[in-house]
Structure 1
Amino acid sequence: MSLTPEHRIKAFIDLIKDQPSVFLPENRIDLEQQIDKFPEDVESLSEAISAWCLEHPDILIALSDKPDSMFGSTPRKQMGPGESNPKPKPEDYKTNIKNQMRESFPETTPEATKEQKPPDSSK
């Protein structure tokens, strides 16, 4: 089964969610720094994710196993009319990745770093 760019992006988001331990701390920081430079359109974003994963072999291996479990064996047509989720807009994919990163890697996000600093006592 040939995966669409949307499936690749979704697999990457699910990898962050389901296997955050695959991402070493330096990978998390690198992804955090690179994500804003990734393009918005779906096909280019999918290619940018693939290129980033090529630089991180452990993540690439985990990602290559992900689509098989997500899209390969179980049919997706079993949802009723009220159960289907709307398809994300192309510009939402990067936001979805960032949100999942914040949820799965809280220690590498700027917000978590700020919370760990002591309050400024000079005020």
Structure 2
Amino acid sequence: MSLTPEQNIEGFIELIKDQPSVFLPENRIDLYQQIDKFPEDVASLSDAIYAWCKKHPKILSALNDKLDSMFDSTLLGKQKGPAESNPKPKPEDYKPLLKNHMRESSPETTKEQKPSDSNK
């Protein structure tokens, strides 16, 4: 089954949200810097994300697994689960979404949200 560019981008965003540990700190920095250079149109953005992932085999493998779990060929390309009712992002929203999720999922951000265990 061939996924749409939108599905590929949404899968990558979900990977960032759900599996931030797959991104090493240097991957995060590189991706965050590259996002601004990525094209605006959806198909080209999807291609740019895929090309970036090809340079990082563990991330590419995790993305393929994420896409497989999100999109089932028996559903003919429809996303399964509760996300079906979520409104689809507009094409111009993808790059800001990528940056926001990269920021939110970074270890520094998640550390700040958790109470310190200095009492131990």
TM-score grouping bracket, smaller chain normalisation: 0.7 to 0.9
Task: Evaluate the alpha carbon distance shift between residue 2 and residue 73 of structure 1 in structure 2; reply closer, same or farther with a 3 A threshold.
Answer: closer
The equivalences for 1:60-99 within 5 A come to 60-72=60-72, 76=79, 84-99=85-100
In 2, Cα distance between equivalents of 1:105 and 1:73: 32
Task: Evaluate the alpha carbon distance shift between residue 106 and residue 64 of structure 1 in structure 2; reply closer, same or farther with a 3 A threshold.
Answer: same
- Matched residue SS, 2:85: coil
Deviations 1:13-69 (A, max 9, x none): 000011110001110110011110001110000000000001111100100111111
Deviation at 1:78, TM superposition (A): 7.9
Whether 1:105 and 2:106 are equivalent positions in the alignment is yes
Percent identity (aligned): 75
- 1:54 is aligned to 54
Unaligned segments of structure 2, at least 5 residues? 113-120
In 2, Cα distance between equivalents of 1:103 and 1:78: 23
Give the aligned length: 106
Deviation at 1:86, TM superposition (A): 2.5
Q: What is the root-mean-square deviation in Å for CA atoms of aligned residues?
A: 2.3
TM-score in terms of structure 1 length = 0.77
Whether 1:40 and 2:47 are equivalent positions in the alignment is no
Residue type matched to 2:25 in 1?
P
Task: Evaluate the alpha carbon distance shift between residue 11 and residue 29 of structure 1 in structure 2; reply closer, same or farther with a 3 A threshold.
Answer: same
In 1, Cα distance between equivalents of 2:60 and 2:35: 17
Unaligned segments of structure 1, at least 5 residues? 113-123
Q: Which has the larger radius of gyration?
A: 1
